[in-house]
Amino acid sequence: MKKATNESIEIARQIAGFLNEYVPLQKTNSCHTQKAYQSALQLYISFLESEKKVGQTDFGTKWFERSVIEEWLIWLRKVRICSPETCNNRLASLRIFLKYLGSRNVKYLYLYQEACQIDRRKTQKKKVTGMSRNAVKALLEVPDPGTRSGKRDLVFMILLYSTAARLDEILSLKNSQLYLEKENPYVTVIGKGNKIRTLYLLPKAVAHLKKYLLEFHEYISDLEAYVFYSRNTGTHGKMTQPAIAKMLKKYSLEAHQSCTDVPINLHAHQFRHARASHWLEDGMNIVQISFLLGHEQLQTTMVYLDITTEDSAKALATLENENDKKVTPKWKNADGSLVNFCGLSNKKK
């Protein structure tokens, strides 16, 4: 078997560094987002190997140029029958990797610049849906606070709604991030790009949270413990997103019987959208809402809340109303396939 070239080894090393170090440690805490980057690169390398017959000996930068990426997008659409939205997500993930690659070696920067010139696939805009105030109220009446699991689930939903934080931001919350004894109680969350936000809590949310901490944490005895932890792994193992999804589905089915506004297939993000919508209805400053949501651009908040061009002036008018983990190098795997050479497992068709 011919040996891999120096360039192919370098790119394989960078793929491993990107997935195992950069993405989880600097880019995102979300397991779903991490999986999306992994899947995109798996699919791209699989495409090179199966469709372009690329191996370790001829793997190099030319296989990341614009023309090849465009062929890959066509392959995703026609062979894997991916939706335009999925194709756009895969392309975005690949662009992030190429940006990372260019930051590590400037000679690869042109690959990222070329990838940015590729047009996204046209998609039909999907409106983000939240919940009515009655739906939120109905949901919060379902958990039984007389049981440990009911008390935990109730406090979790209260915190999710009252802060409008992302699901992973709440799951990653540790006792050290709670400031309940301050004059104005608040929590700090670590969002995308490791950016820290301060989110203030209303008295009722604080009262529920204190009762929960007293029972589940003996108030606060371990600052490094997760606020919401897994019973299987203990206080230093956070609850998983699938566990939350299962819990929300159970409560939404029950709450829907008394309030049809409650979505049957409820997901955590709808609490975030609902809270943001209710803030806007209450006349809160759109810039404040954008900050609380952790959006870098005001336009993102406008789109997120489905604010049209006609409504944007009204929304903006609220402004005037406000006086080490060490990883074993995977490129040394020697079964001969390009996918394993790059430290990626095969993606089944």
Tens of pLDDT, residue by residue over 234-289, are 999 999 999 999 999 999 999 999 999 999 989 999 999 999 889 888 888 888 88
Residues 112 and 169 in one domain: no
Q: At 322, is the pLDDT very low, low, confident or very high (cuts 50, 70, 90)? A: very low
Gap between the Cα atoms of 211 and 219, Å rounded: 8
Q: Lowest mean pLDDT: which of 76-85, 258-267, 332-341?
A: 332-341
pLDDT score of 2: 63
Residues 171 and 90 in one domain: no
Residues 153 and 258 in one domain: yes
pTM, entire model: 0.64
The mean per-residue pLDDT over the stretch 120-141 comes to 83
pLDDT by residue (tens digit) across 20-64?
Answer: 999 988 887 777 788 899 999 999 999 999 999 999 888 988 999
User: Is the predicted pLDDT of residue 328 greater than 80, yes or no?
Assistant: no
The phi and psi torsions of 346 (rounded to 5 degrees) equal -65, 140
Gap between the Cα atoms of 232 and 305, Å rounded: 37
For 190, the 3-state DSSP assignment is strand
Q: Is 172 among the domain residues?
A: yes
Residues 165 and 97 in one domain: no
Residue in 233, 319, 13, 106 with CA at minimum distance from that of residue 22: 13
The residue segments making up the domain with residue 149 are 134-272
* Domain CATH number, residue 193: 1.10.443.10
Q: Is 346 among the domain residues?
A: no
Give the Cβ contact number of residue 313 at 10 Å.
9
Q: Last residue of a domain, which of 224, 246, 272?
A: 272
Residues 19 and 96 in one domain: yes
Burial 90-119, CB ≥16 within 10 A → b, else e: bbebbbbbbbbbbeeeeebeebbebbeeee
CA distances from 233 to 159, 173, 178, 212, 230 (A): 22, 16, 22, 19, 5
pLDDT by residue (tens digit) across 168-222?
Answer: 999 999 999 999 999 999 999 988 777 889 999 999 999 999 999 999 998 777 8
pLDDT score of 325: 43
Gap between the Cα atoms of 7 and 54, Å rounded: 14
Please answer whether residues 258 and 126 qualify as being in contact, where contact means their C-beta atoms are separated by less than 8 angstroms.
no
For 110, the 3-state DSSP assignment is helix
Gap between the Cα atoms of 238 and 281, Å rounded: 34
Higher pLDDT, 321 or 128: 128
pLDDT score of 92: 94
Q: At 338, is the pLDDT very low, low, confident or very high (cuts 50, 70, 90)? A: confident
User: Is the predicted pLDDT of residue 309 greater than 90, yes or no?
Assistant: no
